[in-house]
Each structure stands twice: as C-alpha cells, then as structure tokens.
Amino acid sequence: MTVSIFTKCLLYVGSFAILFASVFFMQPHIETSAAEAAFGLNDKPVNILAAEWTGPFSGVPAFDKVKTADFVPAFEQAMAERLKEIDAITNVRSVPTFENTIAAMERSGQRMKRVSTYYYIWSSSMNTPEFGKVRQEMAPKLAAFSDKITQNEALFNRIESVYNSEEKKNLTPEQQRLVWLYHTNFVRAGAKLNKEQKQRLSEINQELAGLFTRFSQNLLKDEGGQYIELKNESDLKGMSDSYKSGAASDAAEKNLKGSWIIRNTRSSVDPFLTYAENRGLREKVWKMFVSRGDHGETDNKATISEILQLRAERAKLLGYETHAHWRLENAMAKTPERAMELMEAVWTPAIARVKEEVSDMQALADKEGAKITIEPWDYHFYMEKVRKERYDLDANEVKQYLQLDKIREAMFWVAGELFDFDFSQVKGVPVYHADMTVWEVKRRSTGKHVGLWYFDPYARDGKNSGAWMNSYREQSRFDGEVTTIVSNNSNFVKGQPGEPVLISWDDAVTMFHEFGHALHGLSSDVTYPSLSGTAVARDYVEFPSQLLEHWLSTPEVLQKFAVHYKTGKPIPQALVDKIEKASTFNQGFGTTEYLASALIDMKLHLAGSKKIDVAKFEKETLDALGMPRELVMRHRTPHFAHAFSSDGYSAGYYSYLWSDVITADSYGAFTEGKGPYDKAVGQKLVKNIFSVGNTIDPAEAYRNFRGRDPKVEALMKKRGFPVEEK
C-alpha cells in the first residue's frame, strides 16, 4: 500500500469501520440472483455501479460506464439493500447456526461490494475535484452505515451464539477461523458497548472518516498541484535523456510547451535529487517534496492532531490503553512493546551506518572542492557519487538495462516458474484509463483460468503517489468457484510515444514487491471470501511481497530480461557483480528514514490522550532519538498517508520491518536448498503461505513452511549490519 520496500503498499480505505470491510460489505462478487434468492429480495433495476458485473471471466468491472454522479445514489441503494439483508439474517427464528448466520453474512452485501470497489479505485486513481466532493459526502455516511451493522445487537447475539455453540466443535478448521474472525472483529468494533458508548463510538468514526478524507484531499492537492517548471535545459544537467523526455511530456500535458516539470511525487523527485548538478534546484525540489501537507490551505497538522485525539478516545472507549494497543492486538507483534523492541534494536546500527555514509560523502565533496556541508538535498547526489567511486557502479548505467515492459515480463516469468502461472494480455475488457492493460492468468500446467491482473503504471493528476496493489474481487469457492481480480498500480513518468520507459533498480524492486501482493491474491485457495488472499494480519501481509523482491536479482531474470534498451544485449555479468557487491550500500539511509517514520507513528499513538502539537512532537522525538540531521523521515508527519489517510497502517508502519524479519529468514529456505527456483521449496511456499489466506494463524503458517519461528539475524545480515554472536 506498497512498496525502497518500505513505501510501496498503501491500502486506501476511508474509515475505522471499513477496516473490517471484508466482513461487512467488501465481499467478492457472486451471482446476484443467488443472493436475492437467499434473502428474498426482489429483482429490480439497479444503479450501474451496483449492478452485477457482466462480460467475460465471470464478469468484470464496468469501468467504461462509471460516472461520478452515480456514486451517491448507488451507495444509497446498496446500503438500503444491505440493511435488508441484515434484517433477513436477524429475523430468522431458528437457533443461530454457522449456515444461517455466518454463511449468510458471507453471501450478503454483493451490491455494496461492487459500489465500494469502484469507489476506492476512484479514490486512489481517478480522484478529480468532482469526485473529491463525493468522498467528502460519503466518508462519514459509510462510517455510520458500517456502525449500524457492527452495533446491531441482534446480529451480534447470533454471531456470539455460534461462537459459543457446541456446533463450532464440528466445523472445519476454516469455518472455525471464520467464526472467530466475525466474533473478534465485531467485539473490537464495539459490539459489546452500551447504547451511549455505541452512539459516541459512531460519532467518532464519522468524524474520523471526514478527517481522513480532508487529509487525503490536501495531500493530493499538493502532489498534483505543485511542481517546479524548468525553462532551460541546462537546469537538467546530469539528468538522463529518458528523464528529460518524461519531464517534457509532463510539461506538455499542462500546456507548458518548451519546458520541463518536476512533479511533486517520489518517482519524479528522487531521480532529480540523485543526478541534478544544480544544487540550488535540488534544494528547491527537496523542500517542495518534504513540505507536502505542511503549509497554507493544505496544512494537515491540525487535522492530524484531531485524528490522534479521536483515536485515543476511541481506544479508551473500547477498553484499550492506547490506539496502538488496540491496533496490534490481532497483529503478529501482539503489543506495541514488542514492535518497539524490534525497531529500537535496528535503529542503533542504522544511525551508526548513516554517520559512516555521511563521512564518506563529505570526504568526497571535500576532495572535489565543493566547499559544502552535506545537507539533506545532497544525500542522494553524493550517495550516488560514492557508490560510483567505491563500486564503479553507475545507477544510470544500470537503468539502461531496466525497461518497464521487460521488468513486467520478468515478473510474469518468475510467476510461471514458482507459481505455475501464465499471463496473456486480453483486449476488450473495460479500463478506467487508456494507459491500463489487462491480463488473464492461467495455470501453466493445466490451462485453467485463475484470474485477471490489471496494470496501471503511470503517474497522472488525480492519482495517489506511490505504488500499491488492489483487489477487485477475491477468490472463493463458497456458493461456486469465484476467481480473483487484482491490480498493480505505479507512478512512473511516461515518456514520449514509442520510447521505452527506463526505471531504476529500486523501481524494479518495487514492481516485484507489489507483484508479490498480486500473486498472494491470485494464489488464494480458500472457501470463504472473508479469509481470502491478502486478508491477513497487517504485519504479515508484507512478507510475501517482500519475499518476491529477491527474485529480481537472480541470474535467470537478469540474463533474460535486463537487456539494454538500444542493443538488446543482456546486462554484463561485471555490472551484475557490482550490483551484488553494493547490495548493502546506503542501508543506513534507507533503514533510518523508514524507521524514523515507523517510530514517530508508534510514539504518536502511544501518547494516548495527550494533546499533540504535531510539528513540535516530530522535532522533539527525532532529536531524542538522535536522528541524523542529513536526512528526514521517509514520510514526514504532515504527509504520512499510511497513518492518517485511514486507520490502515496507523500504529502499524513498523509492519514492513516486522515482515522483513520473516522475509530474510524465509529466503534461507531457498538458499539452503537448491536455490531460488527450487521446485519443492516453491511448492511448499505456495501451499503454506501464498494460498492459505487467513484460514490459519500466520505464525503457525510460517512454522509449517520453515519448520521454526523466524530469526532476526537474517535481517541484520541482509542489511549489512553487525550480528551479535549468540
């Protein structure tokens, strides 16, 4: 929700209640007629956004028919039907059973699911000012609607009855897990509160939903509305031809002919900071980027303070010490203290490495006679110079072998080798933007249809920055086989027509990471939709995606797909060796900028009801941590969308590090065996990790794969940090 590995995955959800959307209304598509028959609903004309998906592959989203004006009436219709479905479940006079309560909940909410799918896609990828008004209107309404379900006493009584029943002992393990999930999520959402408490909880959720939307809209305005126009090509000295081409294309889209623009997004900013020789412009671009959400009409600091206060109040209402304790209860870490223990263990060697990196950069700058002191806008630039001097490795040289389309082909090839998947592009399937492509996924060995993969690669106005995976329809075999539909979304700068888009090594890693999420969804092999695919603990969901990153650097991939964009020749082994030798280079910077954000996130949410001055808290906390002055948090608080555009990663940004412990340890199963394409280990990985969804506790799933719990030593070695002997 991406994806460096720490920024990729940002799941776009709009309220606290929607965290539990897989249970309440974010269910995969099933035949509407079956749902109507089950609940006694009449077949009547429906809004296009709520209508059953038609067309090939058991139906696909009608992206070509979406109109902004349809969203509000579609939600009104879908919500009304959803409440009728709930009434049908609670009005059953017979004793609550798995079939008439839990299974009935799994069948319900299909129209709500379809409308919500469109809504969250538009929120992240097609967010026009007109649609922004829809979000502002619907966010609190959706929170209130979800509370009507979680606070429905009759419904919860039925769920709790099944949870405590003798019948549960005779259910399958997956059914037992599903009963546990429903009961746990309802309790955590306030089902056991009294009437007055429920009322206040609903008010909080609605207020938060509006604040999340305000935060997101402000950030989107800064990222889409701010840019730096360059009118002289000399200002781009040091930049590659492909970057200049993309910058010119972006300028042309804004009717700035003869100019180049630097977008206020990481995919545009990071390369400029790395190669632009004009130090004054680097400073200007850096300040634009790190100041998102921190000034003027789009200042998010007051909004964040309100969010923190409301989260603290909600946690107390639900019986938890802080928001962080509530969020981590069902995570692998279980407690904030365990998450903090891991982060603090890595923080010390990380900042020590930063000091070494800065010393190396300063020495090089002095040697060149630059007469400067390394500042944050110099870090990327001199880091690259040190890399080139120490390893004779030029990232721009590597980039010539990394074409966007070729890396996509590499991902498909790895999916075939490890997952038995085959990808083929399909035409005629509706898309929401002309840049988007659609691919059918089949079993390579049998030709059986698995699902669809949508790819939306380029940056544009109205699209959130970063990279992420979406699930449009989750796999299940409840009431018939339902195949999955997923997407990967990126923000590459589109070049001139006919020119290949060249990407950095980090960008290629990001693509593999996000594709790992997609494979997690496509590999799902479960019965019930609420347990499907990536619907796992937040600090576990990044594990499969981070693991897939390792396959980018395998010789099989590099020789086949890392080919020069002009000559077509594969990347030279000498250059590959340099990449390998430099693999732990700059880990001080990468780890520290990430951990700074993760620690601020956790400490903000451990502060409880304390009134927070966001700017002061950020500065004082980083000072106390000994944050190096030469870099900033990867996501400064005013634009920390992971934490404040929803509850999604709040008190949970540590998850990337937690998952990477598992990732580093699990890859050892391949290296200790026959290598990364060991078929036996690959099959074991799919069977125990990628296919099981949330049908099993993740710690148990990992032990089934690895034979033991993960060890942190593998992570330290991966990042080149010292490992204590035990």
Q: Which residues are catalytic?
A: 514
Count of other CB atoms within 10 angstroms of residue 257: 8
Residue 711: name the closest of 671, 675, 660 by CA: 660
Cα 186 to Cα 199: distance, rounded to the nearest angstrom: 15
Pairing type for strands 449-458 and 484-492 reads parallel
**Token code pair at residue 185:** 């999520």
d(CA 422, CA 442): 5
> The tokens of 190 are what?
């306030």
Closest C-alpha among 33, 180, 45, 44 to residue 110: 33
Cβ atoms of residues 537 and 436 within 8 Å: no
The Cα–Cα gap between 475 and 485 comes to 8
Which H/E stretch holds residue 441?
strand 437-443
The crossing angle, in degrees rounded to 10, of helices 129-150 and 195-225 is 160
Measure the CA–CA gap between 262 and 251, rounded to whole angstroms.
9
Residue 571 DSSP code: P
Structure tokens at 406: 């070729």
Alpha-carbon span 220 to 293, nearest angstrom: 9
CA 229 to chain centre: 30
> Whole-angstrom Cα distance, residue 252 to residue 293?
26
Q: What is the DSSP string of 54-111?
A: BSTTT-B--GGG--GGGHHHHHHHHHHHHHHHHHHHHT--SPP-IIIIIIHHHHS-HH
C-alpha Rg value of the chain to the nearest Å: 25
The 8-class DSSP code of residue 570 comes to B
Cα dist from 42 to 37, 46, 93, 101, whole Å: 9, 11, 22, 21
Phi, psi of 178 (to 5 degrees): -65, -40
Pick from 526, 428, 420: which is nearest to 474 by CA? 526
CA 472-697-191 angle, 5° bins: 75
C-beta separation of 258 from 230 below 8 A: no
C-alpha torsion 639→643→644→650, nearest 10: -170
Whether the Cβ atoms of residue 160 and residue 179 lie closer than 8 Å to each other: no
Chain-centroid distance, C-alpha 539: 12
Which residue bears the tokens 């903090």? 340
- Whether the CB-CB separation of 507 and 50 falls below 8 Å is answered with no
Any bridge partners for residue 60, and if so which?
54
What angle is formed at CA 370 by the lines to CA 366 and CA 374, rounded to 5 degrees? 75
For 55, other C-beta atoms within 10 Å of its C-beta total 12
> How far is Cα 56 from Cα 580, in angstroms, rounded to an integer?
44
